[in-house]
Amino acid sequence: MTGDTQAVSRRRKIGRTPLEVSALSLGTAPLGGLYHELTEEAARSTVDAAWQAGIRFFDTAPHYGHTKAEHRLGDALRRYPREDFVLSTKVGRRFVPRTTPDDGSEGWAAPLPFQAIYDYTFDGILRSFEDSQMRLGMKDIDIVLIHDIGRVTHGADNAHYWKQLTNEGGFRALDELKHSRGVKAVGLGVNEGAAVREMMAEYDIDCALLAGRYTLLEQNTLDDLLPECEKRGVSILLGGAFNSGILARGLDHQAHGDLKFNYGDAPKDIVERVGKLERVCREHGVALSTAAIQFPYAHKVVATVLMGARNPDEVRQNAASFATPVPPGLWDALRAEGLLHANAPVPR
């Protein structure tokens, strides 16, 4: 086993469950064609590269490519021993045959011809779970996450969908999945910390997949969410460590107008902050992407850093970045310049 795979395959528990996940994990939105379509061969070789790098936790969702990612991930993973990896998917959207043309607003290149119906009810969640089992071609799904509940997604309709969880059996469906369907951990997958806090106050979750919100650029969750997760024994599956790419490429793409932050164009203050981060990293001989991928895992509630990849080279690059030694002085310099939260734990 190489140094890269040793770093990647380190394990942490999910909440208070016995389930353990690898330090680095593979997110599969790119397999669903997020922004760019992949061939079937490229999708399979990306999963194979993740396996070879030591990754043993794979996350997907019906939403990704309108069910395409689940098909592709299942096809790739069924060639490996089921007991050797952890698999998660999401519920909250049921997919039915599309009746109107896809307008491309969700960013999927060549999605499958289905459209989503939000459904967080008891029957809706169980049906979504069963549909995922069939698309994946696997009976056993280890982690089930409620997908995109919260005001960022639903706005004024959020109260309506929240009642589906509380009054129409959504939470009861999670209990059913854990007690009778072989699911080992439940939680939610969202882009906002407030939704995680609201969920923890209402239901005893094991984990939360949080996209962004705890990165080199965003650390406000240290003031509220992460201490509460630690208190309750809730693990964070940390997605979006590169904040949609700006921490992966730095300012190299500035001239091309391709600086993305949290799924949109990066605002001026973020661009300036990235420039400062990049300068300090350069002074210490560290790539910005290396610092970005390692930083979140220093917090003990972060069970895994979930990275998407479009091809095997991106997988291997992420694995190498995660394992590259970083001089302690880098973190000290970032804190001294006010670029790290005073209470942020750092890799040592």
The string of pLDDT tens digits covering residues 261-294 is 777 778 888 999 999 999 999 999 999 999 999 9
CA dist 208 and 186 (Å) reads 8
**Residue 315 contacts by C-beta under 8 Å, 6 or more apart in sequence?**
26, 46, 49, 50, 53, 55, 307, 309
| Mode of pairing for the β-strands spanning 185-190 and 143-147 | parallel
Looking at the DSSP assignment, which residues form a beta bridge with residue 50? none
> Which CATH superfamily groups domain 3-336?
NADP-dependent oxidoreductase domain (3.20.20.100)
Tell me the per-residue pLDDT of 135-192, one tens digit each, with 9 for 90 and over. Answer: 999 999 999 999 999 999 999 999 999 999 999 999 999 999 999 999 999 999 999 9
CA dist 316 and 295 (Å) reads 18
Tell me the per-residue pLDDT of 68-104, one tens digit each, with 9 for 90 and over. Answer: 999 999 999 999 999 999 999 999 999 999 999 999 9
Name the pTM for this structure: 0.96
CA dist 239 and 305 (Å) reads 6
The pLDDT of residue 1 is 62
Domain residue ranges of the chain, discontinuous segments joined by +: 3-336
Asked about 214 being catalytic, the answer comes back as no
**Residue 258 predicted with pLDDT over 70:** no
- List 4, 13, 48, 59, catalytic entry: 59
Confidence tier at 193 by pLDDT (50, 70, 90): very high
- List 68, 90, 184, 214, catalytic entry: 90
Count Cβ neighbours within 10 Å for each residue of 320-329 and write b for 16 or more, e otherwise.
bbbbbebeee
| E-only strand ranges, the chain | 11-13, 20-22, 24-27, 57-59, 86-91, 93-97, 114-118, 143-147, 185-190, 207-211, 235-239, 260-261, 264-265, 302-308
**Residue 253 contacts by C-beta under 8 Å, 6 or more apart in sequence?**
259
CA dist 253 and 120 (Å) reads 40
Confidence tier at 256 by pLDDT (50, 70, 90): very low
Token couple for 189: 């997958």
Give the closest residue to 346 by CA, choosing from 128, 329, 69: 329
- List 4, 64, 161, 206, catalytic entry: 64
The helix/strand/coil state of 207 is strand
Confidence tier at 257 by pLDDT (50, 70, 90): low
**Residue 29 predicted with pLDDT over 60:** yes
Amino acid identity, position 346: V
Confidence tier at 255 by pLDDT (50, 70, 90): very low
Asked about 64 being catalytic, the answer comes back as yes
Asked about 35 being catalytic, the answer comes back as no
| E-only strand ranges, 72-148 | 86-91, 93-97, 114-118, 143-147
The helix/strand/coil state of 25 is strand
